Amino acid sequence: MDPVEKAREILRAYPLCDFCLGRLFASMGYGIENAERGYAIKTLLHMRLVYDYRNGVDVSEDLKALARVHAPTRRFLAANGIKVEEAPCYVCRGLLKDVEKYAEGVVKALQPIDFNTFQVGSVIPKDVLEREREVMAKFGIQTGESIKHEINRRIGRLVGEALKKPVNKERPDVVATVNLADGSVKVSRNPLLLIGRYLKLSRVVSQGRLVPGAARVVEELLDPIRARFGGRSLVFHAAGREDVDVRMLGNGRPMVIEIKEPDKYKGDLSGLAVDGVIVSRLSYGTRNDVRELKAKAKTSIKLYRALALSDRPLSGDDLAKLKALEGAVVVQRTPRRIKRLNPRAKRRRMVYNVEARLVSERVLELFIRCQGGLYVKEFINGDGGRTQPSIAETLGTSLEVVELDVLDVE
Ligand SMILES: [Zn+2]
């Protein structure tokens, strides 16, 4: 495709400014702004037409069409006694000439936020977009760039220079959207994500909601971390869950702290210890980390320690029977205590190891290594037959779980 001949056809139909003409050929060339490209094409077309004109070819209509949007051609025709008025650009009506003036508004809107990367978006009047589509469709343009793209890029470049920060199209911290109809700027702040691990040494702090028996919830204990970044609110995501009365020990459980609408995207990443909750190893994360965290929670291996009380005295021979549970697939109907799930739903999880020792005749300490998602209390007490096999059933006794801890999340 010869862009100069194509431009000759297009300009016959529509007066276009340098930006809007150049943009139709955006994918031709590299590192050239659309306006330079548009002006270069017009200059080449001018040369071709003036040459033909001087050699007696009748190109006066093409010259007049070009003169509407090209000053040298207007001057050439004027010198030959033909007067042509300058015409506004059919697509943008002059909008693209001073897009840069919006950059200042964006800089002002972003200044109060301490961010790393940004992106500029824009709301462009519908009629401009429609006229752009019309021109592209009419001439089957395959090499064009959208007007939105050009505007965002040009404003983004200036804002980046002013604030000395890079544009990030995939995962910007903040997005400033300029409305070109009225020049207003809207800023949206993406959540700040912190990954790390937590321990819970308390049996009265709930990992999730404020349930019976819980004095506090983890989310509210982490508020000082939210405050470090000036966020509006905080959401706590953990890789799996433990009940309020279950401690989370060892290396802790992986988690992501999501801070909504922060004022700062950089800050203090030191740990936190408050009311039996310890957060450590904080670092900056992404949405992908949250997805991975949730996915891994279903498959990762957990090690539990439990203290259980037996109805009848137990012996070493009884404990030997527990070997049979190693490698077992445990089938569990949803425990009655869990109301949010269908009570008839069945869950299948692997148990890898069961170690037991008698603390006294009727007090049993258990170490259970199993697949994430196993209802461990029910695996121990059998849940009235709803979990099978179970430790209580294998021992032929009824068991009450008095203490449960997660020792490791592998
Ligand atoms: Zn234009």
Burial class (CB in 10 A: 0-12, 13-18, 19+), 234: buried
The pLDDT value recorded for residue 277 is 96
Q: How far is the CA of 89 from the centre of ligand 1 (A)?
A: 5
Domains of the chain, by residue range, sit at: 3-79, 98-188, 192-298, 301-409
Q: What angle do CA 118, 121, 126 make, to 5 degrees?
A: 180
Rounded distance from Cα 97 to ligand 1 centre (Å): 8
| 8 Å CB contact between 11 and 132 | no
- Residues sharing a CB contact under 8 Å with residue 240, sequence separation 6 or more, in sequence order: 253, 297, 298, 300, 302, 372, 373, 409
| Residue 237 one-letter amino acid | H
How far, in Å, from the CA of 136 to the mean position of ligand 1?
A: 13
The DSSP 8-state label assigned to residue 190 in this structure reads: P
The fold of 301-409 is Alpha-Beta Plaits (3.30.70)
Q: Which residues contact 311 (CB under 8 A, 6 or more apart)?
A: 362, 397, 398, 399
Predicted local confidence at residue 241, as pLDDT? 87
- CB neighbour list of residue 211: distance below 8 Å, 6 or more residues apart: 244
Is pLDDT above 90 for 379?
A: yes
- Give the whole-angstrom CA distance, residue 292 versus residue 296: 6
25 vs 29: CA distance, rounded Å: 8
- Measured in residues, the chain has a length of 410
Whole-number Å distance, alpha carbon 156 to ligand 1 midpoint, is 19
Q: Read off the pLDDT of each residue in 132-141 and give the average, rounded to a whole number.
A: 96
Distance between Cα 101 and ligand 1 center (Å): 16
Enzyme catalytic residues: 243
Segment among 9-13, 14-18, 205-209 with least mean pLDDT: 205-209
Q: With residue 292 as reference, give the H or E element that holds it.
A: helix 287-299
Compute the distance between CA of residue 62 and CA of residue 8 in angstroms, rounded to an integer: 7
Extract the runs of DSSP E, i.e. beta strands, from 42-145.
118-123
- How much is the pTM? 0.82
Report the alpha-carbon distance of residue 13 to residue 212 in Å, rounded: 74
Q: Is the peptide bond before 389 cis (omega within 30 degrees of 0)?
A: yes
Tell me the pLDDT tens digit for each residue of 76-103.
999 999 999 999 999 999 999 888 889 9
Structure-block tokens of residue 186: 């809207």
Does the domain formed by 192-298 have CATH 2.30.110.10?
no
Determine the 3-state secondary structure of 107 from DSSP. helix
As a whole number, the mean pLDDT across the chain is: 95
Q: Which residues have CB less than 5 Å away from ligand 1 (the ion)?
A: 17, 20, 89, 91-92, 96
Distance 199 CA to ligand 1 centre (A): 60
CATH of the domain spanning 98-188: 3.30.2130.30
Query: Where is pLDDT greater, at 303 or 338?
Result: 303
Give me ligand 1 centre to Cα 60, in Å.
24
- pLDDT grade for 68, boundaries at 50, 70 and 90: very high
pLDDT at site 105: 94
Q: What are phi and psi of 110, to 5 degrees?
A: -90, -20
Is the distance from CB of 216 to CB of 275 less than 8 angstroms?
Answer: yes
- Assigned token pair, 207: 């990992």
- Do the domains 301-409 and 192-298 match in fold? yes
State whether residue 395 is helix, strand or coil: helix
